[in-house]
């Protein structure tokens, strides 16, 4: 009987064991170790310019598909409202003033390829850590973090000195000066003053010369010679840089080699796309990091003929739609190589759209949706709230929307952890690993406070009160909009960080972004019972934050910003810098 009972039990247990072994797992797939990482960053793109963030007139089907297949962040915040400091924070996971990459003056970005400022060599980018973890690392497109320190070939700020194995693109940034048919953009007001001073000095010199020749003015020839010499010296001192902006700044490089000087803008888009796809194809058999840093949608809005006139928003809309097509081509390349499920794709913009960028009736800057302000404004949401999309099929839940405060600085710890790396222990890292939030393993962002700088000046701070869901934001300094009633600094072209162009608030302006995301109705002690308590809480957080800051060399000081001929990248014998090595191909 016992034998029969044993056989009966065995007959029941055996199929059960086989059934359990053959049954597919019910748990989520485990995170793939060392996924490929593709980071897509637009330039000057407003959050309101993208379909999945509410734009129903500019067509962005590929970016929208990324959001549909992945996770969309609705409070994705940049650490600065301008290119150079925002990208420095993105690369290092640190507020830019920690590395000296935020401005102490009105020169708030890298101004020349021949300047000496840039991302310090002692900063550790996520690319450097991934490189150490065995990744192939590539940067295609815009850099804008400096090139040299002391000599033309030291490349101390160059991408290859910051963890990238391969670089193809602009060491600078796209500007209207790169397109001869466009109105010059770089330092336009200052350049106008230099022309005026030159004409005034020239007029004085000419008057003195004519007076000496006619005998109406008693001027020594020696004095006249010195005056002529000074006039020529003054003119050459500024025209040698500002007179050749296209030649000095609008260049393309492959690794350390200058390939186009000046760049041939008609083919830039196709070359950047070709290089990006080629990098994926070359590195498909090992983990890779591709940082595709678009030149779109910065002026002069380089757009190929195929996309001109296609959108309902003029040249700017055409340019955004072309960038979206480029995103689609990169995603197709990932699919073609069978890398879809092993690749994390991220899309964002470096800061908000440039509201003041206009030429006549043409609006050449972006739109920031319902959010107040734009590019260069360190406090208002329109300057710092940007698209943020992640896609990783099988790992991140598709069609997810997360309304929690996150930062571009969070990319740093996120990709470092995914690659199996370790965060630097000798410095403050302000970013937080996003994977638990993106996968739904936690409900709230790790950020309780975020600090919003304009240059080195703290303009605002936010407090995420997690137990109530409130997002309190205090503004201590705001720019003065001109003309009166406008939503930007149209009189200046950029809003300033300090001086006569800003207003200091004491008590600060307070908003609850969970109820008033447009920052339209400031709260007061009369309308908000928690006003004083919230202001005190944010104030204590700012004091604690400031205690973590240490003095560092200012990379955007006047000395570091000015053009230095001995640092200028050149593909010939300086000053005869000219080449078109892509044309040879």
Q: How much is the average pLDDT of 472-499?
A: 95
Q: How much is the average pLDDT of 76-96?
A: 98
What rounded mean pLDDT belongs to the chain? Answer: 93
The fraction of the chain above a pLDDT of 70, given in percent, is: 94
Closest CA to 89 of 330, 465, 431, 512: 431
Q: How much is the average pLDDT of 571-578?
A: 95
Q: How much is the average pLDDT of 402-416?
A: 98
Structure-token pair, residue 189: 């007001």
Q: CB of 117 within 8 A of CB of 102?
A: no
Summarised one tens digit per residue, pLDDT across range 91-111 is 999 999 999 999 999 999 999
At residue 584, the pLDDT reads: 60
Question: Is there a catalytic annotation at residue 76?
Answer: no
pLDDT band at 214 (very low <50, low <70, confident <90, very high): confident
Q: Residue 20: is its pLDDT beyond 50?
A: no
Candidates 7, 76, 83, 577; catalytic one? 83
At residue 122, the pLDDT reads: 97
Candidates 7, 52, 144, 250; catalytic one? 144
Give helix 61-69 / helix 314-336 axis angle, nearest 10°. 50
State how far the Cα of 468 lies from the Cα of 475, in Å rounded to an integer: 21
Q: DSSP secondary structure string, 128-160? A: HHHHHTT-EEEEEEE--S---SSSTT--TTSGG
Helix-, strand-, coil-residue percentages of the chain, each rounded to 5: 35, 20, 45
In terms of Cβ atoms closer than 10 Å to its own Cβ (0-12, 13-18, 19+), residue 547 is exposed
Q: How much is the average pLDDT of 181-197?
A: 86
Q: How much is the average pLDDT of 505-523?
A: 98
Q: How much is the average pLDDT of 571-576?
A: 94
In degrees and rounded to multiples of 5, residue 312 shows phi and psi of -95, 10
pLDDT band at 519 (very low <50, low <70, confident <90, very high): very high
Beta strands in 267-420 (DSSP E): 288-293, 343-349, 358-359, 362-363, 385-391, 400-407
pLDDT band at 185 (very low <50, low <70, confident <90, very high): confident
At residue 31, the pLDDT reads: 56
Closest CA to 358 of 182, 510, 110: 182
State how far the Cα of 287 lies from the Cα of 284, in Å rounded to an integer: 7
Poorest-pLDDT segment among 31-35, 93-97, 356-360 = 31-35
At residue 443, the pLDDT reads: 95
How many helices, marked H, and strands, marked E, lie in the chain? 14, 17
Q: Residue 226: is its pLDDT beyond 60?
A: yes
162 to 29, 76, 118, 119: CA distances (angstroms): 33, 25, 11, 9
Q: CB of 177 within 8 A of CB of 187?
A: no
Q: Name the CATH superfamily for 36-174+251-580.
A: Alkaline Phosphatase, subunit A (3.40.720.10)
State how far the Cα of 365 lies from the Cα of 316, in Å rounded to an integer: 7
Q: How much is the average pLDDT of 299-317?
A: 95
Q: Residue 13: is its pLDDT beyond 70?
A: no
Closest CA to 171 of 141, 136, 138, 128: 141
The H or E element containing residue 316 is helix 314-336
Q: Residue 8: is its pLDDT beyond 70?
A: no
State how far the Cα of 87 lies from the Cα of 93, in Å rounded to an integer: 10
Summarised one tens digit per residue, pLDDT across range 110-169 is 999 999 999 999 999 999 999 999 999 999 999 999 999 999 999 999 999 999 999 999
14 to 3, 6, 18, 100, 320: CA distances (angstroms): 16, 12, 6, 68, 61
Q: How much is the average pLDDT of 300-329?
A: 96
At residue 217, the pLDDT reads: 81
At residue 361, the pLDDT reads: 83
At residue 183, the pLDDT reads: 82
Question: Is there a catalytic annotation at residue 52?
Answer: no
Q: How much is the average pLDDT of 400-416?
A: 98
pLDDT band at 181 (very low <50, low <70, confident <90, very high): confident
Q: Residue 25: is its pLDDT beyond 70?
A: no
Structure-token pair, residue 510: 């307070």
State how far the Cα of 188 lies from the Cα of 245, in Å rounded to an integer: 12
* Ramachandran quadrant class, 391 (left: phi over 0; alpha: psi -120 to 50; beta: rest): beta
């Amino acid at each position: 009987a016992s034998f029969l009972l044993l056989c009966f039990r065995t007959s029941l247990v055996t199929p059960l064991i086989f059934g359990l072994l053959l049954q597919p797992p019910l748990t989520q797939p485990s995170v793939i170790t060392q996924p490929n990482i593709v980071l897509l960053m637009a330039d000057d793109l407003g959050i309101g310019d993208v379909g999945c963030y509410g734009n129903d007139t500019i067509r962005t089907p590929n970016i929208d598909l990324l959001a549909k297949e992945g996770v969309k962040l609705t409070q994705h915040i940049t650490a600065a409202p301008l290119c150079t400091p925002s990208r420095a924070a993105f690369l290092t996971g640190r507020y830019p003033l920690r590395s000296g990459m935020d401005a102490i003056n009105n020169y708030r970005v890298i101004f020349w390829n021949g300047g000496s400022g840039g991302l310090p060599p002692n900063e550790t980018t996520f690319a450097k850590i991934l490189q150490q973890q065995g990744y192939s690392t590539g940067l295609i497109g815009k850099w804008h973090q400096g090139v040299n320190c002391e000599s033309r070939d030291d490349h101390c700020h160059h991408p290859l000195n910051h963890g990238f194995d391969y670089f193809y693109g602009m060491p600078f940034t796209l500007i209207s000066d790169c397109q001869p048919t466009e109105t010059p953009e770089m330092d336009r007001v200052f350049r106008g003053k230099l022309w005026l001073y030159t004409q005034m000095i020239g007029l004085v010199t000419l008057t003195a010369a004519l007076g000496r020749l006619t005998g109406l003015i008693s001027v020594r020839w020696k004095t006249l010679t010195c005056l002529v010499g000074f006039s020529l010296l003054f003119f050459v001192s500024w025209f040698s840089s500002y007179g050749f902006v296209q030649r000095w700044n609008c260049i393309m490089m492959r690794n350390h080699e200058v390939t186009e000087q000046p760049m041939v803008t008609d083919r830039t888009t196709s070359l950047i796309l070709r290089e990006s796809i080629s990098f994926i194809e070359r590195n498909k058999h090992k983990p890779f990091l591709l940082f595709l840093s678009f030149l779109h949608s910065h002026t002069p809005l380089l757009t190929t003929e195929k996309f001109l006139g296609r959108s309902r928003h003029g040249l700017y809309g055409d340019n955004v739609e072309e960038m979206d097509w480029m995103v689609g081509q990169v995603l197709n390349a990932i699919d073609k190589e069978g890398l879809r499920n092993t690749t994390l794709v991220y899309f964002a913009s470096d800061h908000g759209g440039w509201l003041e960028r206009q030429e006549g009736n043409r609006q050449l800057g972006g739109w920031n949706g319902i959010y107040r302000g734009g590019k260069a404004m360190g406090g208002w949401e329109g300057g710092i709230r940007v698209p943020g999309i992640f896609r990783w099929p099988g790992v991140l839940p598709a069609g997810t929307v997360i309304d929690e405060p996150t930062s571009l600085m969070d990319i740093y710890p996120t990709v470092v952890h995914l690659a199996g790396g370790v965060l630097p222990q000798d410095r403050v890292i302000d970013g937080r690993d996003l994977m638990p939030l993106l996968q739904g393993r936690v409900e709230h962002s790790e950020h309780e406070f975020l600090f919003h700088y304009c240059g080195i000046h703290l303009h605002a701070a936010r407090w995420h009160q997690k137990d109530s869901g409130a997002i309190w934001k205090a503004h201590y300094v705001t720019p003065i909009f001109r003309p009166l009633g406008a939503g930007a600094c149209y009189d200046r072209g950029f809003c300033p960080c300090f001086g006569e162009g800003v207003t200091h608030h004491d008590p600060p302006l307070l908003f609850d972004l969970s109820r008033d995301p447009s920052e339209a109705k400031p709260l007061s002690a009369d309308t908000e019972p928690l006003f004083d308590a919230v202001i005190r809480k944010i104030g204590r957080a700012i004091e604690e934050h400031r205690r973590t800051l240490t003095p560092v060399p200012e990379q955007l000081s006047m000395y570091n910003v000015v053009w230095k001929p001995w640092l200028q990248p050149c593909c010939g014998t300086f000053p005869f810098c000219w080449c078109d090595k892509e044309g040879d191909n």
